[in-house]
């Protein structure tokens, strides 16, 4: 982090300074388990913990300044900045910190693929610039400001992920980040229970442009039904990437190299070039196109983009493909929304050519009244993409089975289990060398534990 004086902190957050204004902070932390000496400790009241109870511990570990809420009981004589709400103050501090940098800042939102796309953009830009990025999935009103506050003078570009569950959240984050380039990966139906319709989800994601200057650039997935409808409607320069012929940055001639990745050609107004993305699944071509579009906007040449993209390594918790005793295991049990299950099934088909293919699918949660249709559609895709066996786990999972059998999958090739434990015995008896098996489901379905028990953690 680029250092900051206590007086500057107090000014930025409109807080009351109860400390020597010349105290200098070198980082910001909300968690005493990971804080570094010289930091500002921000006490946040969470659902389970109240950071105000950890102030003494923070000071013992080397925090030099504390941000706390007025009225909270804090130890006497603690160097502090007092504010009404620490979460909001953290946002204001990040907004101020952001304004100290004149580097290209990229923000990524969308229903699925945010982290993957953020990582791919960072990898690609790293071939030419020193890039700062959101660590892991720090994409909410606390994680995002903390990521912004890590910026220092060595950073030449920054990529931040923005998540949301309802209206107003992206608006809040984008006003902190002030992106020069905004990327929206797609409009799916994650969190639709809260927002009511895909149009509303689109509106909520589009809040991202409210924090942009008029000369910012918006990059949208042109293969997405709703996003492609935005042509000519935004005041910022807008470019579309995708496989559709109308896209400004367009991929064609895809060639899968199995689990290694996919090669593809890209046409854009200025050039045409063939790239390789070292990650399987067509969805990764889309993520790569987002990264290529960002790099193109920043005037990278094709050779540099190609080199950067090749350095991409997927995130550990995302699609993880390993060989265990001759069985190929695709563990993508981190979470499940219809779009990501659909892309995972495509990866299973790509990798499983000429092998017995198993889809182990747990419920997709939080879909409200869309749940039945969404599960049936995935069932249909299982039947139509040549997958041999479907193991469905959960309460909603029966619709996977119905969707699959309605579209020609023999019922004897499907199994329905109430929970992951019940499926374990069955799978351990049936699996054989040479098989390929995909695990995918909402986090709460514990399919990652099932995969671990069957194949070792
Ligand atoms: P979260 O909301 O949890 O932060 P996210 O939007 O960051 O999720 P990722 O973590 O990148 O998304 O990916 C989630 C899942 O979606 C993974 O299973 C991944 O394989 C799949 N996926 C990644 N990119 C895409 C894409 N462009 N379209 C569809 N699925 C994708
Ligand atoms: Mg994420």
What integer pLDDT is reported at residue 14 of this predicted model?
Answer: 97
Say if residues 440 and 447 touch (Cβ distance below 8 Å): yes
Quick one: DSSP state of residue 178? -
Q: Is 109 in the pocket of ligand 1 (CB under 6 A)?
A: no
With 0-12 / 13-18 / 19 or more C-beta atoms within 10 angstroms meaning exposed / middle / buried, residue 210 is exposed
- Between CA 19 and CA 78 the distance in angstroms is 8
Confirm or reject: Cβ of 320 under 6 Å from ligand 1. Answer: no
Average pLDDT in the chain:
93
Mutational test site, ligand 1, from 107, 108, 110, 113, max ligand atoms within 8 Å of CB: 113
For residue 165, give the ligand nearest its CA.
1
**How many C-beta atoms surround the C-beta of residue 232 within 10 A?**
6
Q: Give 334 Cα–ligand 1 centroid separation in angstroms.
A: 9
163 CA to middle of ligand 1, Å? 12
pTM, to two decimals: 0.87
Report residue 426 CA to chain centroid gap: 33
Burial of 413 (0-12, 13-18, 19+ CB in 10 A): middle
Number of C-beta neighbours around residue 408 at 10 A: 9
The answer, yes or no, to whether any atom of ligand 1 lies below 6 A from the CB of 332, is: yes
DSSP notation for 394-421 = SSTTHHHHHHHHHTT--GGGEEEESSHH
188 lines ligand 1 (CB under 6 A): no
Instruction: Give the distance between the most distant pair of CA atoms in the chain.
Output: 74
Residue listed under structure tokens 């987002």: 290
Bridge partners, 390 (sequence order): 359, 414
Q: Residue 457: is its pLDDT beyond 90?
A: no
- Asked if residue 85 has its Cβ within 6 Å of ligand 1, the reply is no
Q: What is the mean pLDDT of residues 70-92?
A: 95
Q: Which of 107, 134, 340, 447 to mutate to test the pocket of ligand 1 (most atoms within 8 A of CB)?
A: 340
Spatial CA neighbour of 127 closest among 348, 285, 298 = 298
Atom of ligand 1 nearest to the CA of 340: 30
* Under 8 Å between Cβ of 6 and 19: yes
Ligand 1 atom 8: residue of nearest CA: 112
Q: How far is the CA of 453 from the centre of ligand 1 (A)?
A: 24
pLDDT of residue 26: 97
Q: What is the tens place of the pLDDT at every residue in 297-335?
A: 999 999 999 999 999 987 544 678 889 999 999 998 877
| Atom number in ligand 1 closest to CA 347 | 20
3-state SS, residue 412 = helix
Distance CA 63, CA 421 (A): 45
Distance between CA 120 and CA 287 in Å, rounded?
Answer: 7
Residues 291, 296, 297: CA angle, nearest 5 degrees: 100
| pLDDT tens-digit series, residues 375-421 | 999 999 999 999 999 999 999 999 999 999 999 999 999 999 999 88
DSSP code of residue 447: H
Does residue 238 have its Cβ closer than 6 Å to ligand 1?
no
* ipTM > 0.95 (yes/no): yes
Rounded CA gap, 231 and 233, in Å? 6
Q: Which pLDDT score, from 0 to 100, does residue 25 have?
A: 97
- Looking at residue 317, what is its pLDDT? 47
């Amino acid at each position: 982090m680029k250092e900051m004086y206590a007086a500057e902190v107090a000014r930025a957050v409109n807080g009351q300074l109860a400390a020597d204004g010349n105290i200098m902070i070198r980082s910001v932390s909300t968690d005493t388990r990971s804080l570094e000496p010289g930091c500002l400790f921000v006490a946040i009241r969470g659902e389970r913990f109240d950071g105000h109870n950890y102030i003494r511990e923070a000071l013992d570990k080397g925090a030099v300044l504390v941000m706390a809420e007025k009225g909270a009981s804090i130890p006497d004589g603690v160097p502090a900045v007092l504010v009404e709400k620490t979460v909001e103050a953290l946002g204001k501090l990040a907004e101020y910190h952001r304004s100290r940098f004149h580097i290209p800042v990229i923000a990524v939102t969308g229903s699925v693929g945010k982290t993957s796309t953020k990582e791919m953009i960072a990898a690609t830009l790293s071939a030419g610039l020193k890039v700062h990025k959101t660590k892991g999935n720090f994409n909410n009103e606390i994680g995002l400001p903390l990521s912004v506050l890590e910026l220092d003078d060595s950073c030449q570009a920054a990529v931040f992920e923005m998540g949301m569950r309802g209206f107003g959240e992206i608006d809040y984050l984008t006003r902190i980040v002030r992106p020069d380039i905004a990327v929206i990966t797609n409009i799916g139906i994650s969190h639709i229970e809260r927002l009511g319709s895909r149009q509303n989800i689109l509106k909520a994601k589009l809040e991202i442009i409210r924090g942009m200057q008029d000369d910012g650039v918006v990059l949208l997935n042109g293969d997405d039904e709703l996003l492609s409808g935005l042509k000519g409607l935004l005041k910022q320069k807008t470019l579309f990437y995708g496989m559709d012929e109308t896209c400004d940055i367009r991929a064609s001639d895809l060639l899968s190299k199995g689990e290694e990745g996919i090669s593809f050609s890209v046409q854009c107004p200025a050039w045409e070039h063939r790239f390789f993305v070292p990650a399987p699944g067509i969805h990764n071509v889309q993520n790569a196109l987002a990264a290529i579009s960002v790099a193109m906007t920043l005037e990278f040449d094709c050779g540099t983009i190609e080199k950067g993209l090749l350095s991409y390594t997927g995130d550990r918790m995302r699609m993880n493909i390993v060989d265990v005793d001759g069985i190929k295991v695709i563990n993508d049990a981190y979470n499940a929304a219809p779009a990501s299950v659909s892309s995972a099934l495509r990866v299973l088909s790509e990798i499983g050519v000429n092998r017995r293919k198993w889809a182990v699918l747990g419920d997709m949660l939080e879909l409200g009244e869309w749940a039945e249709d969404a599960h049936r559609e995935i069932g249909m895709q299982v039947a139509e993409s040549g997958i041999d066996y479907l193991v469905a786990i959960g309460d909603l999972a029966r619709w996977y089975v119905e969707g699959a059998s309605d579209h020609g999958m023999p019922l004897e090739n499907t199994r329905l289990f109430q929970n992951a434990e019940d499926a374990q015995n069955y799978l351990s008896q049936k699996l054989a060398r040479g098989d390929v098996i995909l695990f995918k489901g909402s986090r709460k379905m514990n399919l990652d534990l099932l995969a671990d028990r069957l194949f070792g953690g």
